[in-house]
Structure 1
Amino acid sequence: MRRYLPFILFILVAFTTSAQQYTLSGRITGQKNEMVPFASVYIRNTTYGTTANEEGHYQLKLSPGTYNVIYRATGYAEQVQKLTIADQPETRDIQLVNEAFKFSQVSDKWKQNMDPGDTIMAKVIARRKQHLEEAGSYSCAVYVKGVQKLLSSPKSLTSKAVRQALDLDSNGRGILYQTEILSNLNVALPNKMHEVTIASKQSGINTAFDYSKASDLQVNFYNDVFKINGLSTRAYLSPIGTDAARHYDYRLVGSTVQNGLTVDKIEVIPKRENGQYFQGNMYIVEGDWRIYSVDLMLTNKHASLNLVDTLKISQQYIPITDSVWMPSAVQINFKGSVLGFKFGGYYQGIYNNYKINPAYPKGYFNGEILKIDTAANLKTAAYWNATRPLPLTRQETRDYQKKDSIAAYQKTDAYLDSIQHTKNNINYFTYTIFGYRASNRAETDSLYIFPFLQTFYYNTVEGFGINAKVRYSHKIDDLHSYSITPALRYGFANKLFSANVHAEYLNDPFHNQKSYIEFGSDVLDLNNVGTRSRYFNTLSTILYENNYVKYYRSQYGGFGFQRELKNGILWSAALQYASRTQMYNNAFGHVVDVKNKEFTSNNPLAPPGTPADDRSFLFPKNQALTFATSVAFTFDQQYVTRPTGKFNLPSKYPTLTVNYRKGIKSAFGSDVDYDFASVDVSQSNIRIGLSGFSSFKLTGGDFFRNNNLYYMDYYHYLGNQGTTFDPTYIGSFHFLPFYTYSTNGAFFEAHYQHNFAGSLLNKIPFIRKLKLEEVIGANYLTTKGNPNYKEFYVGIQRLIFRVDYGISYAGDKKYIQGIRIFYGLR
């Protein structure tokens, strides 16, 4: 009972405090009685406030007293109302007046040979860094509200059943998704952040993009560039970025006086019609030369957005101290259309109770950027009604009520029983590519059948074959689970049967801890890094007589373990014993007899021209006991802590991985005797201003003792043969043969790739509509026997599709050149 006393005390204090507060509410309209959505409402000389909802309604809880309440919206004159809260709720409807910006007030202040807006913005840009860093650290409470709506839909594609399922009206309109978040946000410049989500609520189906934490709405125009998550791979240039004057023109619309401050309205005009630029208006405080508010937008037509057609960003700043201003509200409004379905919505952030330069304890910013309270998703409707600062509209309230009722019904035994059979029905098309999954109604037990494309295959060693593989998973609780994956394999040409089992146990998701055990027999690739999937090898073998993959047989047993020793330090280790046997070609079937083309030997080191039925010696039957371990250091590792575990996020810094592998001689008859070590450094998605992002990987290693090892023990590379390739991993080659360069000595490989994210092709009319991304890259490898292998390539990419053209050199001689294609399948 004692451990619950602090919580009970907190509830009592909160209840007592809320009991002394009363609600100030009303509706905000314009001069023509039109609603003014999302207007800011806050108490002067405080950092406490709210915004109105889509219909102009607002609510603010206040203790008894007298207040100066500021009502503020872009395009309207700021209004201050003095009111007194006694012992009952207060209603105050507000009618805002259109703002009158007068040019004459400032027309004589600036140089005659340029627009005053250019001079004003030059002063803002000069103070950009000062305003960016004026609050070294801060904390605040953040409320985020998101709504996604279907605005209209074609009747031919929207049946009655679909309208009922999505709760749409007769015109195909309705709310698809709602989300609310209450968080405490803590920030220390330049890049430290820690957020605690104390309440979270979702309803419906997210069909577009989602800002699932308050930090996602940290839209700061004092930064030079920033990326809008989920909508583009490109970065966009702030109108007050260091280099902004080269890309924007600025026009002074006029000036006005707000709360004793002269505020200039500046129209932001991109110099080029298409590019990574905003358009709209910024409002600047004269003298301080800082942002007062922002009303900017991006369009798909000019800025190559994904998913949406227009994106509007509105932001209001308020003074926290005499020298520090911070956002009081930010809104992202979007609209788009897909196949005749028109959608739109918004994400609204409200910031309260700022504290500037609070005293954070040592070690407070430890990489955990978000922690979700264990009870965050359990808050009741009464809790939200009492705490949300943004009142719900009638439509939003109705949507919550209906979907909450549906969600409650979907947890009943009657519903779960009724959908169990339907949920587990098999779709043969999706099974062919993605596999089939069935589960019990509680989702604690599931069975996954691997795809048809991985089950039936053909190769020259086994002929046609079956690799029947399933995975059974059981969830013990939120923190413990295990899976068992048995596989049966049979080759019809060599009449060889294999069977193996892999079992994995996850028991500490807060430290990424898992262990596994495996044993059995299998037919494996001689290149342990991987070559072509069974699907692509089957196609290339049957259709083109390219039997690229070379196999051997292994009877093995082993176990492994992984754990994060400390945030950013991941350790893994494995011990395996195997009996390995060389295999030979037994089948030579093909659909098309390709002229001047023959199958190759299953010995990858056999010289060119060796017949396909070659039985040349590659290695004797051997036994190998091997130990492998690695430690990965991710610098400044950031992560999210959920009630179900720790989830690491990509780091802004490289990851360093140290690997060691040992062949243990004599133990249990083991024949191998070697020591191998390597180090690699890698990083992905390094943002390079407006010019896209880069990725790289560097790896070097050596067998510093190689008394006895066999071909499968060599260090192998992720090469590529054939027209298709897999560009999703930065450490792969475009043209390197799978086996030729494998080594038992020292090596060094380097990979670099840059994605321009459309910043070049966007300058070409018509081409820009395709939203293509330009890619360039280079790969390098040197070993003792094969020095200075190089590749250079260029490519274009759109979503999962990519086409590259490249050329490779072996030493100083041109080796291979050609086109490589990727279309989502590996």
Structure 2
Amino acid sequence: MKIKLVIGITLFFLSAGLRASTLPLDSILTKTMNAAEKYNELIESYQAELYTRTYVETLKKNILYKYTHLIPRFILHDPSSKEVLIETFGTLKYDFPNNYIHNIKYVTGTMTRKRDLEMIPFNFFNINVYGENTNDESFFMPLRVTTRKYYTYRLVRSHSENDKTYYTIDFTPVFNNQKLLKGSFVIEAGTWRVIHFRGEGIDIFADFSFEINMGDKWITNYLPVDFIVYQTTSYLGNRVASRYLANIEYKDIRLRQDIKPLHSLNISDFYKLRLDSVPVYNDSAFWITHRPIPLQEKEKDVAREFRLQQQIKQAQQAEKDTSNVMKAQQFAQRMVMDSEYSYKSTRIGYGGLFNP
């Protein structure tokens, strides 16, 4: 039943797009937005593995930079280093309409405390391009009839590949607002599904942009598989650039049997991030197996430098511990062993505190 439902939807949009190459922009938008309304309610639930990687570089800093950590939940950075590298691996569970549970199981990198992980913008990794807005209602998305009034659109490219036609459409907000994005999306004619989505916006202290690639296999055609987020934060003469990567591998996808308009007050939508007792797991073999996006050379350098610094700290700590043990032994000996001291013609004997 579920397979027939998806095939029926796909055939409907394919039949509507036989003459797609001659369609004007308004017709393309109408078909795309009608399809988006149906694709938005296509998935009942899924379970997936989610890998993320964070790279942060401090581009400019002054004397005030070292006090940044005093501002709670402001920006992810390392006061003692110019660069930060963090990798996480966990599971992502989704239930219709917009309920997400992200459970981080393993973490490695240069900053692995819970408060550091909470600074990663995981909310970008559950953006639904077919929705009216994002799950946390931060942005109005441009692919729905209800939000079309907030954007202007421009067809910038039309091309064919493997007997399929694709349209690239730019969108810009009609007025400046933090809830409105600027960017572009690529549409596949016939199915009118999104192939690629790019958005950018501004926050109080930061500029950001993000890109989403949709899947190319069976039902993942309608789900995101790759994310990349760029963020640059400027404050008080300091500048910090961040890049966040994510890859989703779906394990169990269930389709909705009945696609009907959902009348809801939107009180059940949530995104939950589980960070309790996340183990730091530095096994390189594990991360080679579970890392779908290879490390760049600069990231490898950051990891090597961090491991070297950790080894130096461990060696220094071991030396300090050994020194403390020797001092303790000497103190214990003085407490129980006999000792003699000479001063000129005088000899003084001491039998220890516990052996007077």
TM-score between the two structures when normalised by the length of structure 1: 0.30
Distance 1:342 1:368, change over 3 A: closer
Distance 1:324 1:128, change over 3 A: same
Question: Which residue of 205, 229, 234 maps to 1:307?
Answer: 205
Structure with the higher strand share, 1 or 2: 1
Q: In the alignment, which residue of structure 2 is the partner of 1:142?
A: 50
Question: Which residue of 99, 115, 119 maps to 1:210?
Answer: 119
Contact 2:20 / 2:189 at 8 angstroms: preserved in 1?
Answer: no
Contact 1:320 / 1:326 at 8 angstroms: preserved in 2?
Answer: no
SS in 2 for 1:376: coil
Measured in 2, the distance between the counterparts of 1:337 and 1:261 equals 43
Contact 1:199 / 1:373 at 8 angstroms: preserved in 2?
Answer: no
Aligned length: 276
Contact 1:125 / 1:242 at 8 angstroms: preserved in 2?
Answer: yes
Q: In the alignment, which residue of structure 2 is the partner of 1:380?
A: 283
Distance 1:158 1:347, change over 3 A: closer
Larger radius of gyration: 1
1:166 lines up with 2:166 in the alignment: no
Write out per-residue CA displacement over residues 679-706 of structure 1, whole angstroms, 9 at most, x where no aligned residue: xxxxxxxxxxxxxxxxxxxxxxxxxxxx
Q: Which letter does structure 1 place at the counterpart of 2:306?
A: K
Write out per-residue CA displacement over residues 340-363 of structure 1, whole angstroms, 9 at most, x where no aligned residue: 2221111111112443219xxxxx
Identity of aligned pairs, percent? 18
Measured in 2, the distance between the counterparts of 1:337 and 1:128 equals 36
Contact 2:99 / 2:271 at 8 angstroms: preserved in 1?
Answer: no
Q: Which letter does structure 2 place at the counterpart of 1:132?
A: N
Q: In the alignment, which residue of structure 2 is the partner of 1:281?
A: 184
Measured in 1, the distance between the counterparts of 2:271 and 2:59 equals 38
Q: How does 1:250-649 map to 2 (within 5 A)?
A: 250-299=153-202, 305-308=203-206, 310-321=207-218, 324-357=221-254, 376-407=279-310, 410=313, 412=317
Q: How does 1:216-255 map to 2 (within 5 A)?
A: 217-226=125-134, 235-255=138-158
Measured in 2, the distance between the counterparts of 1:382 and 1:139 equals 24
Measured in 2, the distance between the counterparts of 1:324 and 1:108 equals 24
CA-CA distance at 1:311 after TM superposition: 0.7
Measured in 1, the distance between the counterparts of 2:250 and 2:100 equals 17
Measured in 1, the distance between the counterparts of 2:146 and 2:320 equals 59
Distance 1:134 1:203, change over 3 A: same
CA-CA distance at 1:386 after TM superposition: 3.9
Write out per-residue CA displacement over residues 401-450 of structure 1, whole angstroms, 9 at most, x where no aligned residue: 222343455563667999xxxxxxxxxxxxxxxxxxxxxxxxxxxxxxxx
Measured in 1, the distance between the counterparts of 2:220 and 2:61 equals 50
Measured in 2, the distance between the counterparts of 1:127 and 1:396 equals 40
CA-CA distance at 1:382 after TM superposition: 3.5
Contact 2:181 / 2:201 at 8 angstroms: preserved in 1?
Answer: yes
Contact 1:150 / 1:342 at 8 angstroms: preserved in 2?
Answer: yes
CA-CA distance at 1:318 after TM superposition: 1.7
Q: Which letter does structure 1 place at the counterpart of 2:91?
A: N
Measured in 1, the distance between the counterparts of 2:89 and 2:220 equals 28
Contact 1:134 / 1:324 at 8 angstroms: preserved in 2?
Answer: no
Distance 1:254 1:241, change over 3 A: same
CA-CA distance at 1:209 after TM superposition: 6.9
CA-CA distance at 1:338 after TM superposition: 1.8
SS in 2 for 1:138: strand
Measured in 1, the distance between the counterparts of 2:121 and 2:281 equals 17
Measured in 1, the distance between the counterparts of 2:246 and 2:308 equals 27
Measured in 1, the distance between the counterparts of 2:138 and 2:31 equals 24
Q: Which letter does structure 2 place at the counterpart of 1:187?
A: Y
Measured in 2, the distance between the counterparts of 1:413 and 1:397 equals 27
Measured in 1, the distance between the counterparts of 2:309 and 2:60 equals 23
Unpaired stretches in structure 1, ≥5 consecutive residues: 1-104, 111-115, 168-173, 229-233, 300-304, 359-366, 419-826
Question: Which residue of 109, 128, 142 maps to 2:23?
Answer: 109
Q: In the alignment, which residue of structure 2 is the partner of 1:732?
A: none
Measured in 1, the distance between the counterparts of 2:166 and 2:52 equals 28
CA-CA distance at 1:326 after TM superposition: 1.3
TM-score between the two structures when normalised by the length of structure 2: 0.66
SS in 1 for 2:119: coil
Q: In the alignment, which residue of structure 1 is the partner of 2:337?
A: none
1:131 lines up with 2:34 in the alignment: no
CA-CA distance at 1:225 after TM superposition: 1.5
Contact 1:211 / 1:217 at 8 angstroms: preserved in 2?
Answer: no
Measured in 1, the distance between the counterparts of 2:119 and 2:96 equals 25
Distance 1:396 1:259, change over 3 A: same
CA-CA distance at 1:288 after TM superposition: 1.6
CA-CA distance at 1:185 after TM superposition: 2.1
Write out per-residue CA displacement over residues 568-619 of structure 1, whole angstroms, 9 at most, x where no aligned residue: xxxxxxxxxxxxxxxxxxxxxxxxxxxxxxxxxxxxxxxxxxxxxxxxxxxx
Distance 1:377 1:325, change over 3 A: same
Q: Which letter does structure 1 place at the counterpart of 2:93?
A: N
CA-CA distance at 1:187 after TM superposition: 1.7
Q: Which letter does structure 2 place at the counterpart of 1:222?
A: Y
Q: In the alignment, which residue of structure 2 is the partner of 1:190?
A: 97
Write out per-residue CA displacement over residues 191-213 of structure 1, whole angstroms, 9 at most, x where no aligned residue: 44444433212414988972376
Higher RCO by CA contacts (8 Å cutoff, separation 6 or greater): 2
Measured in 1, the distance between the counterparts of 2:274 and 2:90 equals 9
